[in-house]
């Protein structure tokens, strides 16, 4: 079995739900307290054994490239002032190989993944969405590692799903599950992009982590734009499922969707309640605040 060594992080979306903040700034750079969202994703990749990451970026994404580049002037300044803890935080951002490629037009998630084809070549790889966090507090196995472990057993493409409230199915790709090959690992009959709740085949929604065999690329090449006139990754997965097995892995941990305002705010509060520098202050503040609500 080939090792899963490479990850694609698509981060070329327009982030319209976060305008005007995302007019000049990538939504993946919005911080959770003090760390850009995308840095959590890169750390998850590293903890899952990934060696090389490619970020698919678009216009206004220069800040992502700068974030993972060294900043000699800043580092020298911190060093001369003996701000060693801060220096360490800055240096850590360049600890992993991160490469960049530009998606010239935001033609959809499927198209973004296809843009990174030459980087991946003929190997299995993971896709990690840049605004979708799990296990942020660092306890337990990252979801990407769970998927890679499944791939090592089955050799099949596997994507993460999670139960969502039935009325929310129109926000996600949703699976029509058949039998479980082991607890929490489903064979899938079909994958449906953003179904209306009345048509949704289940409440198991695709969340932002996938392991793919390289055959997905040929399929993406031939996938016509679908919902929203975008090349939908879900449509390509559905086609792949007719050619080879694709499994869905049910994730039971915490997930944080930082791509919308309320999700981002909730993530900041939950992470803040765990953050060594501000947790006590934040807890006190929230208790006082709720008395006034
Ligand atoms: P979203 O559906 O969250 O779209 O994309 P978006 O454009 O980023 O945000 P909104 O809906 O306008 O607020 C899911 C993921 O796919 C990436 C996004 O960056 C995000 O990580 N994506 C989407 C691309 O890389 N390229 C695209 O053309 C579309």
| Ligand 1 atom at minimal distance to the Cα of residue 230 | 28
- Give just the sign of the alpha carbon dihedral 178, 181, 186, 190: negative
Give the whole-angstrom CA distance, residue 49 versus residue 63: 25
Task: Give the Å distances, CA to CA, from 116 to 17, 57, 69, 101, 148.
Answer: 25, 11, 20, 7, 19
Distance (Å, whole) CA 212 – CA 4:
9
Residue minimizing CA distance to atom 23 of ligand 1? 13
pLDDT score recorded for residue 136: 62
Q: What is the CA radius of gyration of the chain?
A: 20
Q: How far is Cα 71 from Cα 75, in angstroms, rounded to an integer?
A: 6
- pLDDT value of residue 137: 65
Domains and CATH numbers, the chain: 6-257 (3.90.550.10)
50 with 4: CB under 8 angstroms?
A: yes
Mutate to test the pocket of ligand 1, among 13, 26, 104, 106 (most ligand atoms within 8 A of CB): 13
Q: Omega of the bond prior to 20 within 30 degrees of 0, cis?
A: yes
Q: Where are the alpha helices (DSSP H) in the chain?
A: 37-47, 62-67, 72-80, 84-92, 109-115, 117-120, 143-154, 216-221, 233-243, 261-272, 279-292
Residue 164 has what DSSP assignment? -
| Strand 97-102, strand 52-57: pairing | parallel
For atom 22 of ligand 1, which residue has the closest CA?
Answer: 13
Kindly state if the Cβ of 106 falls inside 6 Å of ligand 1. Answer: yes
Closest atom of ligand 1 relative to the 105 alpha carbon:
28
End-to-end CA distance of the chain: 56
* CB atoms inside a 10 Å sphere around CB 133: 23
Q: In 3-state terms, what secondary structure has residue 18? A: helix
Ligand 1 atom closest to Cα of 18?
13
- Ligand 1 centroid, distance to 238 Cα (angstroms): 20
Q: 90: how many CB neighbours lie within 10 A of its CB?
A: 15
Q: How far is the CA of 144 from the centre of ligand 1 (A)?
A: 19
**CB-based contact 160:210 (threshold 8 Å):** yes
Dihedrals φ, ψ of 249, to 5°? Answer: -105, 120
Show pLDDT as tens, one digit a residue, over the chain (293 residues): 789 999 999 999 888 999 999 888 889 999 999 999 999 999 999 999 999 999 999 876 788 999 998 888 988 988 999 888 888 888 888 888 899 999 988 899 999 999 999 999 999 999 999 888 987 666 678 999 999 999 999 999 999 999 999 999 999 999 999 999 999 999 999 999 899 999 999 999 999 999 999 999 999 999 998 888 889 999 999 999 999 999 999 999 889 999 999 999 999 999 999 999 999 999 999 999 999 98
194 lines ligand 1 (CB under 6 A): no
Dmax (CA) of the chain: 62
Q: List, as one string, the DSSP characters of 210-235.
A: EEE-TTHHHHHHTPPP-GGGS--HHH
Q: Is the CB of 14 under 6 A from ligand 1?
A: yes
């Amino acid at each position: 079995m080939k090792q899963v060594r490479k990850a694609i992080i698509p981060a070329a979306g327009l982030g319209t739900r976060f305008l005007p903040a995302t007019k000049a700034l990538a939504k993946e750079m919005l911080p959770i307290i003090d760390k850009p969202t995308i840095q959590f994703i890169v750390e998850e990749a590293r903890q899952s054994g990934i060696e090389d990451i490619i970020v698919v970026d678009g216009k206004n994404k220069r800040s992502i490239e700068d974030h993972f580049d060294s900043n000699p002037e800043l580092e020298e300044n911190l060093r001369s002032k003996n701000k060693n803890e801060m220096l360490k935080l800055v240096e850590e951002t360049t600890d992993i190989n991160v490469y960049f490629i530009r998606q010239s037009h935001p033609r959809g998630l499927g198209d973004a993944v296809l843009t990174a084809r030459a980087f991946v070549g003929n190997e299995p790889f993971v896709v990690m969405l840049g605004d979708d966090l799990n296990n942020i507090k660092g306890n337990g196995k990252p979801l990407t590692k769970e998927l890679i472990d499944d791939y090592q057993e089955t050799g099949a493409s596997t994507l993460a799903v999670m139960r969502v409230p039935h009325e929310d199915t129109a926000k996600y790709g949703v699976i029509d599950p058949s039998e479980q090959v082991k607890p929490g690992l489903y064979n899938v009959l079909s994958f449906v992009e953003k179904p209306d709740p009345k048509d949704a085949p289940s409440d198991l929604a695709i969340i932002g982590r996938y392991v793919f065999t390289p055959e997905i690329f040929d399929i993406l090449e031939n996938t016509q734009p679908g919902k929203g006139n975008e090349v939908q990754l879900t449509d390509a997965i559905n086609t792949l499922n007719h050619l080879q097995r694709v499994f869905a892995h049910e994730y039971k941990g915490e997930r944080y969707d930082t791509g919308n305002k309320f999700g981002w705010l909730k993530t900041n509060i939950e992470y803040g309640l765990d953050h060594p520098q501000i947790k006590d202050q934040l807890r006190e503040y929230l208790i006082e605040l709720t008395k006034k609500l």
